[in-house]
Structure formats: structure tokens, C-alpha cells
């Protein structure tokens, strides 16, 4: 007991003589952290990052007859397209009044009618430009003062928090990327895939609780796979959403601001949750967008030109809007579907070629030819890429390869003048 009293007295005396804190030194130490975490420079650095641009790997002129096409569309003359937009605008004004754009006080909605009208215009453009009007889409603006967020549930409900909406209220491109990302989840079947993975994981977890160590190990493995797959699905939805936005004419550079903003408060822990770090998401988007065809915007304009304005109304819950499906139902083949594997390989093969990355081009075209040997244009461009590899290296194997690709293209389409020219040139 005596020892305890002595110890207590010693602590009291020591506290009385604790040195005063040197707050200046503490501030200097903290400012060292600011060199790494300060947001201003990061914002400026991110703003200077251009999404989807790549310097050509080959400085010379390349053969490109522009016969590779990625989608079923025709170029609409600007005058005709502008006339169509002018007609559509009158219809939009009707729906603006219905939403109470000028009379929002009459509605007991969670969000202002003008805000609903804004997301309607962005979402409706995405839907029409991509032929997504096969079902009703629901958009909810949810009150939240916390971190900006958006998510989707089921297969047609997109929720945008007001904190995210307000942050990007003046950036339609960013809101289009957000909505497109959530649509991407639906189009890629991520809900079904996630539910299936989660159900399997939970079954193993339930068995593990009975003392089954094999199931316990299996559960941990499935949990890891669930997190990895969830992150990969986010990467995929970012790219799919960017495709939808580009078809609709939105800027990917300005749209990427939402990822740049999130990166300011994101953390870099590999398995922190089911979303990747935003810096990595930016890298993924930038790398994939380099290989988006520039004429994808023409496809979106073609689809808008050949469609009518989609109606909108307040949902029965008065917390969301419903953009209703087209009254003119089309066949299933006419609606948007994610790219098939042959389409993906053909696009990357072509885009690597036009960027002067000839070895990569041949690599992706060869992946295409493993599953589809019917694309004469792809064989022609594979021949072009092989020809330039021969010119750059002098290796005769590439010349032989170029001839083989050209002959295959000719066997598929002997009337194509560009294929004939390539066969003769080699």
C-alpha cells in the first residue's frame, strides 16, 4: 500500500513539472504531412489530366480506309440533327411544367422539381443515345449532407445523394458519368452476379459456424474473391458508363471530375471495402478511354435523331422520377447490349493500329480470329499492322503474316477494293 501511495505522489509531482507543449514545433511537424495530403495541388494536377488521349506511337501516315465500324448507324448531317433537337425542346418544356419546374411549391417532393428536371434531361439523353428505352428507369435524389454518393438497386433504380448532386450541379458531364456508371451495373448484370457470390459466401459461413474448418477456409477464400470481383465490377461499370456518356456526346474529361473529387478523401487500403481506390479508377478509365472510337458520338446522334422524347413523371413515392420506356417497342436486337467479345477484340485491334501500336494490334486481332473468322475488315487491318511491323523491323515473318491476313480478307470479300489493293501491294 505504501508503494502505491509513493507512486501516486511521484506521478502527481511529475505532472506538475511537465514541459509546456511546443505548439510551433507541432505545427511545423504537421505541415510536413500537408506536403503530401494538401488538396489544392491534387485538384490542379487531376484537372490537367486528360482522359482518353494518347500520343501516336507511330509518326508516319498509316493506311486507314475507315471501313471498320463499331455499331449500326449512319452519320446524321448537322443541320438535320439541330432541327431534330429544336423539335424535341418543345416536348421537353411540356415535361418541365409537368414536373413543376416553375411551380415546385405545389409538390411535396424530397428534391426540388428543377433538380429532378436536370437529372431527367441527362438520363433521358443517355437512354435515347444508347437505346436503353426498353424499360422504365427510376432516378431518386436522396437528401444527404454526408459524402457524395450514388448507388443503384434492383435493375432500374438509380439513387443520387443531394450532396453529390450539389457538388456537380453545374457539371452535366460528371452527372452523366455517375448515371451512366449505375446504368452500367444494370447492363452488365452486376446485381445478379453480386447476389450469387454473396449467397455462396454466406452458405459457407453458416457451415463454418458448425465447426467445419474446411468451410471456414472456403469462406475466407470466397470473401476475398467477393471483394476482388466487386472492385473489378466497379472498374467495368466506370468504363461502361463512360461508353454510354460518350455515345450521348458528354465530355469524358469533364465527366471524370467526379472521380477526381472522390480521390481527395479516398484512402489507399487494398481491401478496405468493395470499391477500388479512386486514383486507380481514374487510371483504369484513362487507359480504356484511349481506345474508344471518336465516332461513337455519331452513333448516339443517330439514335437520338431516330427516337422520340421519352416521357417523365413523378413516382408515386414523390421521391423519384420515372422515365418511361418508348411507346414504339423494337425488337430485342435493336436495343443496347454490352459489346460482345468479338466486338471488343476488333475495337482494341483497330484502335491499337491507329495509335501505331502494331504488335498490340496484331495480338488483339489474333484473339478475335480465334472466335470469329468472318470479319474481312479485321483481317485487312491485321495485314496493315503486320506490314508496318515488317517495315519497322525488317523481319520477314511479319511480311509473311501480312500476306496471310490479306489473302484471308480477300477470300471473305473479294469485291472490296481496299483488300484488293493490299493483296496487290504485298
Q: What percent of the chain has pLDDT over 70?
A: 81
- 3-class state of residue 140 by DSSP: strand
Q: What's the N-to-C CA distance of the chain in angstroms?
A: 101
Torsion on CA atoms 56, 58, 59, 62, rounded to nearest 10:
-100
Output DSSP code: residue 267: -
Q: CB–CB of 422/382 below 8 Å?
A: no
Query: Three-class SS of residue 121?
Result: helix
Annotated domain spans of the chain: 78-334, 341-425
Task: Give one word for 140, left, alpha or beta, with left for phi > 0 and alpha for psi -120 to 50.
Answer: beta
Residue 291 binned pLDDT confidence (cut-offs 50, 70, 90): very high
Rounded to an integer, the average pLDDT of 160-186 is: 93
**Cα–Cα distance, 111 to 55 (Å, whole number):** 44
Supply 48's cell numbers: 490537367
pLDDT(297) > 60: yes
pLDDT at 224 over 60: yes
Going by C-alpha positions, the residue among 325, 322, 334 that lies closest to residue 134 is 325
pLDDT tens for each residue of 367-417: 999 999 999 999 999 999 999 999 999 999 999 999 999 999 999 999 999
User: Which helix (H) or strand (E) segment is 118 a member of?
Assistant: helix 113-129
Architecture of domain 341-425: Alpha Horseshoe (1.25)
Which of 31-40, 209-218, 326-335 comes out lowest in average pLDDT? 31-40
pLDDT per residue as tens digits for the range 229-283: 888 888 888 999 999 999 999 999 999 989 888 877 665 554 357 778 888 888 8
In terms of Cβ atoms closer than 10 Å to its own Cβ (0-12, 13-18, 19+), residue 145 is exposed
Strands 137-142 and 157-161: parallel
Task: Report DSSP state, residue 57.
Answer: S
Distances (CA, A) of 188 to 23, 43, 234, 254: 54, 31, 11, 24
Amino acid at each position: 500500500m505504501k508503494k502505491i501511495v509513493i507512486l501516486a505522489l511521484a506521478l502527481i509531482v511529475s505532472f506538475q513539472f511537465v514541459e509546456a507543449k511546443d505548439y510551433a514545433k507541432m505545427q511545423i511537424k504537421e505541415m510536413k504531412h500537408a506536403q503530401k495530403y494538401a488538396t489544392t495541388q491534387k485538384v490542379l494536377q487531376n484537372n490537367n489530366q486528360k482522359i482518353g488521349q494518347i500520343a501516336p506511337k507511330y509518326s508516319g501516315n498509316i493506311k486507314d480506309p475507315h471501313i471498320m465500324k463499331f455499331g449500326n448507324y449512319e452519320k446524321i448531317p448537322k443541320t438535320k440533327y439541330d432541327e431534330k433537337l429544336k423539335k424535341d425542346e418543345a416536348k421537353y418544356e411540356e415535361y418541365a411544367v409537368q414536373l413543376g419546374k416553375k411551380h415546385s411549391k405545389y409538390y411535396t417532393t424530397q428534391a426540388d422539381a428543377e433538380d429532378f428536371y436536370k437529372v431527367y434531361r441527362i438520363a433521358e439523353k443517355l437512354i435515347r443515345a444508347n437505346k436503353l428505352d426498353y424499360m422504365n428507369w427510376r432516378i431518386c435524389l436522396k437528401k444527404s449532407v454526408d459524402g457524395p454518393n450514388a448507388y443503384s438497386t434492383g435493375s432500374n433504380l438509380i439513387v443520387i445523394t443531394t450532396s453529390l448532386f450539389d457538388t456537380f450541379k453545374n457539371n452535366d458531364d460528371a452527372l452523366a458519368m455517375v448515371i451512366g456508371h449505375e446504368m452500367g451495373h444494370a447492363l452488365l448484370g452486376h446485381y445478379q452476379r453480386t447476389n450469387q457470390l454473396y449467397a455462396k459466401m454466406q452458405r459457407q459461413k453458416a457451415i463454418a459456424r458448425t465447426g467445419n474448418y474446411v468451410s471456414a477456409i472456403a469462406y475466407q477464400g470466397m470473401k476475398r474473391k467477393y471483394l476482388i470481383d466487386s472492385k473489378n465490377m466497379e472498374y467495368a461499370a466506370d468504363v461502361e458508363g463512360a461508353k454510354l456518356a460518350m455515345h450521348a456526346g458528354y465530355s469524358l474529361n469533364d465527366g471524370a471530375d467526379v472521380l477526381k473529387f472522390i480521390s481527395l478523401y479516398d484512402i489507399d487500403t487494398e481491401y478496405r471495402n468493395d470499391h477500388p481506390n479512386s486514383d486507380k479508377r481514374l487510371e483504369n478509365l484513362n487507359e480504356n478511354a484511349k481506345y474508344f472510337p471518336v465516332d461513337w458520338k455519331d452513333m448516339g446522334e443517330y439514335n437520338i435523331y431516330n427516337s422520340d422524347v421519352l416521357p417523365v413523371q413523378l413516382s408515386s413515392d414523390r421521391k423519384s422520377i420515372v422515365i418511361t420506356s418508348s411507346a414504339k417497342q423494337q425488337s430485342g436486337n435493336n436495343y443496347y447490349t454490352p459489346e460482345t467479345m468479338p466486338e471488343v477484340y476488333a475495337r482494341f485491334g483497330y484502335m491499337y493500329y491507329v495509335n501505331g501500336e502494331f504488335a498490340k494490334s496484331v495480338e488483339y486481332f489474333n484473339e478475335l480470329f480465334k472466335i470469329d473468322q468472318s470479319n474481312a475488315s479485321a483481317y485487312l487491318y491485321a495485314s496493315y499492322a503486320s506490314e508496318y511491323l515488317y517495315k519497322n523491323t525488317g523481319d520477314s515473318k511479319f511480311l509473311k503474316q501480312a500476306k496471310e491476313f490479306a489473302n484471308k480478307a480477300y477470300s471473305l470479300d473479294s469485291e472490296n477494293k481496299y483488300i484488293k489493293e493490299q493483296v496487290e501491294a504485298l
